[in-house]
Structure 1
Amino acid sequence: MKNNFTFLLISFFIVQFVIAQTSVEKWVNGQVTTNVISPLEGINITNTSNKIMVVSDGYGHFSILAKEGDILSFSAINYEFLRKFINRQEFTIGSIAVDLTPKSIVLNEVIVNKNSNISAENLGIIPKDQVKLTTAERRLQTAGDFKPIHLLGLLGGMLAVDPILNAINGRTKMLKKELSIEKKEFLMIKLENLFEDKYYIETLKIPEGLIKGFQYYCIENVDFARSLNEKNKTISMFLIVAMASEFNKNQKSDKK
């Protein structure tokens, strides 16, 4: 009876371990090639499960966060669209290879319209609901962000080394700092396009020479930054009035 209980207990933990291993995402490396030109640069690769998108580099290499059973889509304007299922063997070794087929495009007439809104999404090259990564986000994704869960890979012989090394040598910390700066730069651009200098000077009573400093003061506010990202001008205007009042009070206090 005791032996049967021990056997069931061991079986339970083995099943739980297998399930955990197959459901945990990890970095999967790959290369995109073709029988015409090898390798391929600038191919859009999207994980249809988590909506993360990356682009192949000059050697056709890419790295994407995925788990066993995920489907990757490969798209480019000159190649046939392809979906690739990540099987157990590919997920275990953390590497896949994909060959794309060139397609022929016949153009009867080309019309150039300077006002047209042409993009890869409008042309159907990449899905509209995918997550777009900025340059800083792609660098951080490639380097990997070490988390304690990565140590589970030791149990299955699939430990991701790069995230650990980058955490030790400080590269991950540096890339996170670059990402933070990039996000603030994007927020500044949005804020600069939202209000004219006249609004700061006449309505908010911000001295002209302090407008830039006030803008940096604003984007440090979490709620205001969220309203900018959500393009909610009503909330942005409500919050910026309160921040202008506080900012002006601080300026007067500093002069005393």
Structure 2
Amino acid sequence: MIDKVVCFLIVFLSQAVWSQSQDGTVINGRITSNASYLEGVYVVNAQTEVMTTTDAFGAFSIAAKPGETLVFSSIQFKENKVLLTPEDFSDINFSVRLNMVMHQLQEVVIKNYSGINAVSLGIIPSGQKSYTEAERKLRTATDLNASANAGSMAGGSISADPLLNMFSGRTAMLKKEVAVEKKEFFMKLLERMFTLDHFLDRLQIPLEYVKGFEYYAVENDKFTVILNSKNKTSTEFLLAELAVKYKEIIARENK
């Protein structure tokens, strides 16, 4: 009788293990590195596209099964891909070593973003002239309007208003209004895409610094382009990278 019970348990456990390996389970592990800050590293199952992030100790849990590949990615570490084996699921000390990316902070690289315009940002539809209120004011103040005094001189004349606006400082003031208007547009888009809890809980930004971080993010040209594409996954990934840098700035200021 005991032998039958033992055989039944062996068969039952074997089926459970086989079923678990087929349907997938949760693998627990942690990342290791020379860096002290291990939080926020993205862990993605390349086959199922399930994604999670590491906690402050570098620990993570993600649904996966043997034969699938985990991709580890973050701004401070080089990307690493790990092919899972059955032994990884039974290893209580399963860990993945990540190598840091060395950044040259002493050098400032200036890039030409001349290709970024109102059309590429989605502010103006392609092939259609459309202006915001601030842009219309600036256009009016700087438009030479060659037909302004066409009735007073043969062939017309050029309006003196743009020159007067330039010397009076009105043109510079209107340009600032256009820049502010664009930042406000991106701020509203960012706040519609992510809740306050995302900044507090996921990105670990202190409440009193959330608004400052939003301004910091929309000052980044690369981020505003991705934000305006409305691709939430790409936007979230870059926002996490900017959060790491912003928290480093906060830490330096509070020393």
Please tell me the TM-score bracket, short chain as reference.
0.3 to 0.5
TM-score w.r.t. the length of structure 2 is 0.44
Larger radius of gyration: 2
